[in-house]
């Protein structure tokens, strides 16, 4: 969700993003590396001797009946402080009173005047929105003026459920808040998977608090990019052949794809994706039907960081709408792409006209968006595929991408009215 704070009016505007029509924001895991590491740790962190016993104690203690919400909060805070701040000299999570209109956090932890952790307790799930109370506390704690990035974790205890969210400012008056975990039931269970999941969550949070603390104490440069860069991902450089290339984002193109400019003034396209067909992209680029791939790296969160050249090409769909193209000019280029993919048994998966580019000077057709590309029979459509598009038969979430599906889209391009005889 995105949040627009109105501190003077003691109001907060909260917008839950409509994936189809709403404004696009960058996920918190791409905005700050601590969130990315937290997500990775929740899946694979190595547990020590204290993590599982703490998860058991937390579940057993908080599943007991309490006479009041205050007693519930005091008990939980004592457990959290003993575990999360073990070995630290800091003042741990401190109780907090009402701070912004009706918003109230039950406990906060700050370091170097930066809010790093906010906790809210409700005895029963569904009574009130714990997340919004924590967001209110975060807004109140922002410096005036806002002159740096302030990542923070929000802990919501709603009845028997524990949720963890990440929140970070993306400018002076915009925030982004994302859930970073599923809801874990704090009740005794002999389900080993649930117990281990909760233990990893707690261990990951313990690690994350220390990472944020270190960043704050060291006044890390990673928290102080130019203000116009706060809305963009934390990755601002890549290394190739031992040479580090730094860049500055200039604008968002769509979703998690951006234009950027290197220190030497070269314009590039920077993209973040959950999957990517690196081998197919490199093959097509070598054949001259895709932009050169400059870098491809899997980040700790599992997101893939891609940097490619920015070409002078225009979207084919725009070229066709503006002036059309002759079939005799376009058909050989379509067939070239078709034959190149066949030769290596590659599939692209999304060869709609919106993913084809036309370079007028060279009269060349190129492909973009290799997110789903790979070997035929080995790659599948993503779970969040737009099922309202007019896909060929056999296309569905999790289904294998077939060469016939690519053929369908390439054939369809030549049937468009804007392709003249």
Three-state helix/strand/coil letters over 275-288: CCCHHHHHHHHHCC
CA–CA separation, 367 vs 347, rounded Å? 12
How far, in whole angstroms, is CA 223 from its chain's centroid? 18
Say whether pLDDT at 160 is over 50: yes
- CA–chain centroid gap for 295, Å, is 19
Q: What is the DSSP letter of 181?
A: S
Res. 21 pLDDT band, cuts 50 70 90: very low
Residues in CB range of 258: below 8 A, 6 or more apart: 232, 233, 249, 250, 251, 252, 269, 270, 271
Predicted TM-score of the model (pTM): 0.89
Cα separation of 161 and 196, whole Å? 16
Instruction: Tally Cβ neighbours within 10 Å of residue 226.
Output: 8
Q: Within 13 Å of residue 402, how many CA atoms lie on the same side as its CB?
A: 10
Q: Which CATH class is domain 235-421?
A: mainly alpha
Domain boundaries, the chain: 2-223, 235-421
Q: How far is CA 419 from the centre of its chain?
A: 38
- Token pair 């779970």 is at which residue? 383
In 3D space, the residue among 26, 235, 28 whose CA is nearest the CA of residue 138 turns out to be 28
Average pLDDT of the chain, as a whole number: 89
- Here the tokens at position 90 are 């800091």
Residue 18: both structure tokens together: 């409509």
- Residue 19: is its pLDDT beyond 60? no
Give per-residue pLDDT as tens, 59-92.
999 888 888 888 888 999 999 999 999 988 877 8
- The predicted-structure confidence for 379-414, as pLDDT tens digits, reads as follows 999 998 988 888 999 999 999 999 999 999 999 999
Report whether pLDDT(166) > 90: yes
- Which of 293, 262, 416, 285 lies closest to 353 in space, CA to CA? 416
Whether the predicted pLDDT of 10 surpasses 50 = no
pLDDT in tens, 129-153: 788 888 988 998 888 888 889 999 9
Q: How far is CA 152 from CA 74, 167, 223, in A?
A: 22, 5, 12
Q: Check the CA dihedral 59-60-63-67 and report its sign.
A: negative
Q: Is 62 within 8 Å of 157 (Cβ atoms)?
A: yes
Q: How far apart are CA 212 and CA 52, in angstroms?
A: 23
CA distances from 361 to 48, 364, 368, 371 (A): 62, 8, 18, 27
Q: Which DSSP state fits 292?
A: -
What confidence tens digit (pLDDT) does each residue in 220-278 have?
777 788 899 999 999 999 999 999 999 999 999 988 999 999 999 999 999 999 999 99
Check pLDDT > 80 for residue 40: yes
């Amino acid at each position: 969700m995105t949040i627009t704070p109105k501190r003077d009016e003691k109001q907060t505007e909260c917008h839950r993003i409509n994936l189809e029509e709403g404004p696009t924001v960058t996920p918190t895991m791409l905005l700050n590396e601590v969130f990315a590491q937290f997500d990775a740790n929740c899946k694979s962190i190595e547990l020590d001797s204290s993590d599982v016993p703490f998860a058991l104690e937390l579940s057993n203690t908080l599943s007991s009946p309490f006479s009041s919400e205050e007693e519930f909060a005091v008990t939980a805070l004592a457990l959290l402080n003993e575990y999360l701040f073990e070995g630290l000299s800091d003042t741990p999570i401190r109780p907090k009173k009402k701070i912004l209109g009706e918003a109230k956090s039950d406990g906060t932890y700050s370091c170097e005047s930066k809010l790093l952790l906010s906790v809210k307790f409700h005895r029963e799930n569904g009574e009130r929105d714990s997340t919004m109370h924590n967001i209110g506390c975060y807004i109140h704690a922002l410096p005036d003026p806002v002159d740096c990035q302030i990542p923070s974790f929000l802990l919501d205890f709603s009845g028997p459920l524990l949720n963890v969210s990440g929140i970070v400012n993306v400018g002076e008056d915009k925030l982004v808040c994302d859930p970073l975990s599923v809801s874990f039931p704090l009740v005794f269970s002999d389900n080993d998977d649930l117990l281990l999941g909760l233990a990893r969550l707690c261990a990951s949070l313990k690690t994350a608090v220390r990472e944020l603390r270190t960043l704050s104490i060291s006044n890390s440069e990673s928290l102080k990019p130019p203000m116009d860069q706060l809305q963009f991902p934390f990755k601002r450089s890549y290394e190739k052949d031992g040479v580090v290339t730094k860049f500055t984002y200039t604008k968002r193109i769509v979703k998690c794809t951006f234009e950027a400019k290197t220190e030497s003034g070269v314009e590039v396209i920077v993209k973040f994706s959950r999957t990517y067909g690196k081998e197919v992209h490199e093959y097509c680029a070598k054949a001259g039907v895709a932009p050169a791939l400059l870098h491809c790296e899997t980040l700790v969160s599992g997101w893939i960081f891609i940097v490619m050249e920015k070409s002078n090409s225009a979207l084919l769909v725009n070229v066709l709408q503006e002036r059309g193209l002759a079939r005799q000019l376009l058909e050989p280029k379509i067939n070239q792409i078709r034959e190149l993919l066949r030769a290596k048994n590659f599939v692209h998966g999304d060869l709609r006209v919106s993913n084809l580019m036309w370079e007028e000077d060279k009269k060349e057709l190129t492909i973009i968006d290799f997110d789903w590309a790979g070997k035929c029979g080995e790659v599948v459509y993503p779970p969040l595929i737009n099922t309202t598009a007019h896909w060929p038969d056999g296309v569905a979430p999790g289904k294998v991408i077939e060469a016939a599906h690519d053929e369908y889209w390439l054939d369809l391009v030549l049937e468009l009215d804007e392709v003249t005889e």
